[in-house]
Structure 1
């Protein structure tokens, strides 16, 4: 056997082996959210491991009514007393400038005894927002925030326009100073924490 043939076969085998490793790794990462069990035993139809941060979105959607039940999880929170977390929808479906106009569900440290974090809504008007509490354009209910095992979870039911099949969503976290959310980091991971979410038959 020629040396060149041997090198080609070795290269081919290495390529196949590497491909298998990458496929297995991708499959494992894709399945992370599906293996999660909520403490309250709530079950959602679909979930997605979100890129660029330790975040996960679980949802159940009914296109005929527009009802969207979500649970947004953000992990790795060492100190919930100085951290905010948010998940939002951009109703303009503007992926390039997703933040202005976004309708957000926000979790911040609770100021009352017996609770770690509380949730509220915020209509984001500009990049300089401090996430002031305000109404959002989507009807919503059952807004609740939990903190357990260094992870914040935002639960809510939203009503979207009927037959919506996809939307632009974004997610962030940052620090809190004197009870006011500060601007999040401008690292690449933060700036890219947005995407088009396919509610119906999401791509694998």
Structure 2
């Protein structure tokens, strides 16, 4: 039975969408893997997160259950904060153990940790439930990069993750947007397999 022209158009449309999606994914992965850090650090694993122009790079050390990581947000504005977090006991923002970088109007970047205990958080500096022996941040060519070493809690390797971006008012983080990308910036990360998810889906 011959295929109608309208049906062929639909088939070509689907194939075209798949092709564009694959090309976009390939480009994002190349952008992730080919990024040259100012410290010349090489990370074994890199994942381009699907929303908020963000990338996660890391080296996992099984001998002492630590991770050296870099969280990178591209195209960052001045007077903006970015954050990446693990939520080891749940999903979403509440309970997140966050690494925060706040960019001032002069371009300087301050990095600190913040344990999120409620939805009304102002991302105030506070200790996390696990050790962070090293934490710094920088702004390079419009990218904000958070560098950290984490001692993974309970020796685990798979956790829920959250990342977010928002404005800075008078030197302090303000409320982030509530658009689709902001609401989809949750998921999971496995530091051994390199598998990640987003949008709350495994």
TM-score bracket relative to the smaller structure:
0.7 to 0.9
The 5 A counterparts of 1:98-177 are: 98-109=92-103, 116-161=108-153, 163-177=155-169
Determine if contact 2:104/2:171 at 8 Å carries over to the other structure. Answer: no
Give the Cα–Cα distance (whole angstroms) in 2 for the partners of residues 110 and 23 of structure 1: 37
The 3-state SS of whatever aligns with 1:133 is: coil
Determine if contact 1:86/1:106 at 8 Å carries over to the other structure. Answer: yes
Question: Match of 1:201?
Answer: 193
Verify: 1:91 aligned to 2:83, yes or no. no
Number of residue-to-residue matches in the alignment: 195
The 3-state SS of whatever aligns with 1:140 is: coil
Name segments (4+ residues, structure 1) moved above 3 Å. Answer: 5-13, 15-22
Per the TM alignment, residue 32 of structure 1 is displaced from its structure 2 partner at its CA by 2.1
Check 1:188–1:9 CA distance in 2 against 1; reply closer, same or farther (3 A cut).
closer
Give the Cα–Cα distance (whole angstroms) in 2 for the partners of residues 109 and 13 of structure 1: 47
Question: Match of 2:46?
Answer: 47
Per the TM alignment, residue 90 of structure 1 is displaced from its structure 2 partner at its CA by 0.5
Per the TM alignment, residue 110 of structure 1 is displaced from its structure 2 partner at its CA by 5.5
- Residues 27-58 of structure 1: CA distance to partner in whole angstroms, max 9, x if unpaired? 22233211111111101110111121111110
Give the Cα–Cα distance (whole angstroms) in 2 for the partners of residues 23 and 141 of structure 1: 38
The 5 A counterparts of 1:32-43 are: 32-43=31-42
The 3-state SS of whatever aligns with 1:32 is: helix
Per the TM alignment, residue 123 of structure 1 is displaced from its structure 2 partner at its CA by 0.7
Give the Cα–Cα distance (whole angstroms) in 2 for the partners of residues 101 and 9 of structure 1: 50
Per the TM alignment, residue 9 of structure 1 is displaced from its structure 2 partner at its CA by 9.8
Larger deviation, residues 37-46 vs 10-19 = 10-19
Determine if contact 2:80/2:102 at 8 Å carries over to the other structure. Answer: yes
Check 1:7–1:170 CA distance in 2 against 1; reply closer, same or farther (3 A cut).
same
Give the gaps of 5 or more residues in structure 1. Answer: none
Give the gaps of 5 or more residues in structure 2. Answer: 197-202
RMSD: 2.5
TM-score by length of 2: 0.85
